[in-house]
Amino acid sequence: MATELLILAALPWLLILLHQIMNRGAIVLLVWLAAAPLVLDLIRQTDGAVIFQSSGFQTDTHSSDFYYDNPAQITLQELLNPTRLLFGALFIAFLVNGRFKKRQAVALDKAERWMAIFSLLLLGNVYLRSGRMAFGLHVASDAFIIPFMSYYVGRRLMTNPNRWRQLTQVISYVGFYVIIYCIQERLTHSDLLYRLRGPFESGNSLYVVLTVAFFVALIGASQNLSLARQNTNLPFLVRRFVVYLTPVIIALTLVRGNWVGFIFGLGVFLKLGRRLVSFTRTVKIVGLTVFFVLFAALSFSLLVPEEIIEERITEQDNAIGRFATWLATIEMASEAPLFGVGLNNLQGLLSRERVTIGGFANYSTPHNSLLSILVELGSIALIAYSAAVLTILRMGLRLYRTGVNKEDRWRGVALIAIMVAYLTPSLFANTIYITGLIHIYVYTLAGALAGVYSGQLRSTPSQSYYQTIRGDSIALQRPAAG
C-alpha cells in the first residue's frame, strides 16, 4: 500500500519531468547521468513489491536450485526502472516534437539502422523462442534496446561542442565520486578477495563506467592545446584523481576480463595517441610506460598476496572448463544457425554435459557474449550487432584520421579505446547481457560524438579539405598532420 501511495504522490512530479523532457531534454539527460549511479543504488536497497511471478523453466538438470528452475519475479522497482522510463520518454518526445511541432527529423545513421534491425530480431526471438519471456523482455530492453536509445538520444541532444563538454564533465565527476564510493567500500570490507562493485549491480558495471570516465579525463590530460585547456573546464585535481586511481579500482574488481580489457584499451589509446604528440613527449610517455610495466611486473609477486594469484590468475581448471564450454556452444550453434535457440535458453541447454576436456566438462554459463548471441539469437542477429559496433569503431577511426584539429582527433582515439575496453571483457563473460547502467555511458558518449561531428563524419577519408564554420565565414583547413 505504501508503494502505491508513493507512486500517486510522484505523479505530479512526473508530469513536470515530462514537460522538462519535452523542452529541456539535454539538461534532464545530463542531470540523470550525473545522479544515476547513486539514485539506482538507493532504489536497489529498498524492498520491491512483487507484481508478477512466473513458473520456473523446467530442465532435466535435476537440481532444485538451478537458475532456470526458479520462478521469474518482476518487482515494481524493475518495472518502473528510471533509466528505461527516461530514455523511453526522451525517445517519445522526439517523435511527438516531429509529429506535432513539425520539426525536421534527424535521419538515422548507419549505426542506428543496424541497431534497429538487431532490436527487431531480438524482440521477435524473445516472443517466439525464449523460454522465459518476462525475463527475456527485461534483458532485451535494458541490455540492448535502452542502450541503443541512449545512442539515438545522445546523437540528437549533444549536437554542439558546448554540450559535448558538459557531457564529458558530468562523466568525469561521476568517475570522481564513484572512486570515492569504492574507496569507502574497500575500507569497510576486510575480506581479501572481496570484489569491488561500487554503486552498481556488479564489478563489471563499475569497470565500464570508470573506463569511460578514465579515457574522457585522459584526453584532457593528453591534449597540449591552449584551446583544449580552456574548453575542458574540468578541475586539475578531479582529472588527475580519475586518471591515477581508476586503474587501482579496476584491479580491485578482481575480474580478469576487466584487467585484460583495460590494458587493451589503454594500449590502443597509447598506440594511436603517440601520433598526436611531439617526438619528445612520445619518448617520455613510452619511457614512463615501459618503466611502469617493468616495475609492476617485478613487484607484483611481492605486493599481491599469494591467495589472489592462485585463485584469480593461475587457476587453470577454470580456463579449461571455459574452453570446453566454448566448444559446446559452437557445436550448438549448428542446431539453429540463422535465428538461434532463443534468448536466455543457452544456460538450460548447457546444463547437460556435452564436451569434456582433460576431465573437465563444460559449464552451464557460456562466458562469452558473442557466442551467446550467435547461439541464442542466430547468425543474422550477430551480424547486425557486430555491424552496429563496427560502425561506431569506424566513426572513431575516421575522426582520428581526418579530424580538423588535435582536439577532434583525440576524441576519436578515446572512442576507439573505450569501445575496445568495453567489448574485450565480453569475450570472457556475458557482460553484454548485463542490465543497468553498464552500457548507457558508452552509447551516450558515442551518440554525442556522432551528433557533434555528423557533418564531418559524412565526408570521405580521401578529401583533403574540410569546411569549418567560424562565425559568419567559412574557412578551409587541412587535417592535422600525422
Within its chain, how far is the Cα of 160 from the centroid?
Answer: 23
Residue 361, phi then psi, degrees to nearest 5: -90, 165
Report pLDDT digits (tens) over 126-169.
Answer: 988 887 787 888 889 999 999 999 999 999 888 888 899 999 99
Task: Measure the CA–CA gap between 270 and 24, rounded to whole angstroms.
Answer: 38
Other Cβ atoms within 10 Å of 189 Cβ, number: 11
CA–CA dist 221, 235 (Å, integer): 11
pLDDT at 85 over 70: yes
Q: What is the pLDDT of residue 473?
A: 30
Among the ranges given (8-12, 226-230, 408-412), the one the predictor scored with the smallest mean pLDDT: 226-230
Could you state, in order of their start, the residue ranges of all structural domains in the chain? 2-47+81-314+378-477, 316-361
Predicted confidence at residue 7, as pLDDT, reads: 56
Give pLDDT tens digits for 255-275: 888 989 999 998 899 888 888
| The model's pTM | 0.81
Higher pLDDT, 311 or 449: 449
Q: Residue 461 has what pLDDT? A: 43
What is the predicted pLDDT for the residue at 226? 35
pLDDT digits (tens, 9 = 90+) for 175-214: 999 999 999 999 998 887 788 999 998 899 999 999 999 9
pLDDT reading at 75 higher than 50 = yes
Distances (CA, A) of 183 to 41, 43, 172, 177, 256: 16, 21, 17, 10, 20
Instruction: Check residue 454 and give its pLDDT.
Output: 78
Compute the distance between CA of residue 70 and CA of residue 177 in angstroms, rounded to an integer. 37
pLDDT in tens, 264-303: 998 899 888 888 876 555 555 555 555 555 555 555 544 4
Percentage of the residues of the chain whose pLDDT score is greater than 90: 30
